[in-house]
Amino acid sequence: MKTLLSRISLLAAALPLLSSPSCKDSGGGPAATEIVIGEVAALTGGTATFGQSSHAGTQMAVDEINASGGLLGKKVKLVTEDDQSKQGEAGTVVKKLLSREKAVAILGEVASGKSLEMAPICQKAGIPMISPASTNPKVTEVGDYIFRICFIDPFQGTVMAKFALSRGWKKVAIVTDVKQDYSVGLSDFFKKYYTANGGTIVSEQSYSSGDKDFKAQLTALRGSAPDAIFASGYYNEAGLMAVQAHELGINAPMLGGDGWDSPSLTQVAGKAMEGNFFSNHFAAEDASPVIQDFVKKFTAKHKSAPDAMAALGYDSMMILAAAIKKAGTTEGKAVRDAIASTKDYQGITGKITLDEKRNATKPAVILTIKDGKFVYVETLAP
């Protein structure tokens, strides 16, 4: 009984400690010779190729920083936690990174749904968070400590709508993953711009992540004879959908967002993916020296060309490093202010300026699938 009571009182004493933000003593982490950066990535599960790529990019940036002397005279230590692509897991692991690892800043997640879980936790703790690739607008609306270095859904949806109209496609069918904030957002903004500028949405279909059979939805939209199909979900379902559209004799090209950017897309779909288009952050065959240099270094290390997630992961770490250098400290508020003032930073994924809503403004590239490879088509400015 006595031990139970003492345990309860111990717990009660510990509670305020748990709820109070741990930022006040940031910089004085476990080892003062290191700067701990936390990273949350989906290394396994449904969106694993995103997490693995962005992690590879981030790790490369950390290695480069450490090779050239580190930050503020200290080594950078990247602590990566896997959220298994599961909703709910990202929140748990980010708490661990903040309380146990005493991370001074958080990088991640790629998927918007997971970033939305992490953002309130980082905001409350007063720790800056940079998402490399979450494009849903709500992510940075959480608070002034939350940043992203990619464009947002309104822009991406608008770009694809613009692209469809420029090709003369007047009738488009939309297929949305109702379980993903990302997909719902993209579809919404596509629809808004497309219908306001003379296009017609002839059919709207939906599914939930993890579905494998889309024949019913595709058969239904086939009846409305669309010029193109906007599939705003992630690569796994998009790949299976392309296969089934092909089987049903649908020849309209499919359009997608950066959620398609994964080697799995063509591995699953094979020939059925040929001639489809998607918007992305970066094209590996862009001739500019910054990009080619990055591609060369990445390929030498990983034996495969970097995708957009790797480039964004790299950029997110580099922008954070630049901000810490500028702030001269790892204290949350100072680093936050330094990140917010990022202007015309020449990253791998374009010239990055963070606006007052903490979103990056930069152009998007359109890629097509040809002979199983992603081929650059054009760049569309905001």
Residues within the interface to other proteins (CB under 8 A): 44-46, 48-49, 84-85, 176-179, 203-208, 210-213, 215-217, 219-220, 222-223, 236, 239-240, 243, 247-249, 264, 267-268, 270
State the residue for tokens 């602590």: 79
Quote the CA–CA distance of 66 and 61 in Å, as a whole number.
Answer: 9
Quote the CA–CA distance of 96 and 212 in Å, as a whole number.
Answer: 34
**CB closer to other proteins, 213 vs 293:** 213
The minimum distance between CB 254 and other proteins, in angstroms, equals: 16
Cβ atoms 294, 267 nearer than 8 A: no
The minimum distance between CB 111 and other proteins, in angstroms, equals: 14
The minimum distance between CB 103 and other proteins, in angstroms, equals: 25
**CB closer to other proteins, 51 vs 347:** 51
The minimum distance between CB 131 and other proteins, in angstroms, equals: 21
H/E segment holding residue 119: helix 112-125
**CB closer to other proteins, 24 vs 271:** 271
The minimum distance between CB 70 and other proteins, in angstroms, equals: 33
Cβ atoms 283, 368 nearer than 8 A: no
**What does the DSSP 8-state code read for residue 228?**
E
Quote the CA–CA distance of 366 and 23 in Å, as a whole number.
Answer: 41
**CB closer to other proteins, 58 vs 180:** 180
Burial class (CB in 10 A: 0-12, 13-18, 19+), 249: exposed
The minimum distance between CB 269 and other proteins, in angstroms, equals: 9
**CB closer to other proteins, 75 vs 86:** 86
Tokens of 312: 């964004």
Quote the CA–CA distance of 266 and 272 in Å, as a whole number.
Answer: 8
Give me the torsion for CA of 305, 255, 180, 155, rounded to 10°: 90
**CB closer to other proteins, 147 vs 182:** 182
**CB closer to other proteins, 123 vs 205:** 205
Quote the CA–CA distance of 196 and 181 in Å, as a whole number.
Answer: 23
Q: How far is CA 23 from the centre of its chain?
A: 25
Q: Kindly report the number of other CB atoms within 10 A of residue 130's CB atom.
A: 28
The minimum distance between CB 218 and other proteins, in angstroms, equals: 9
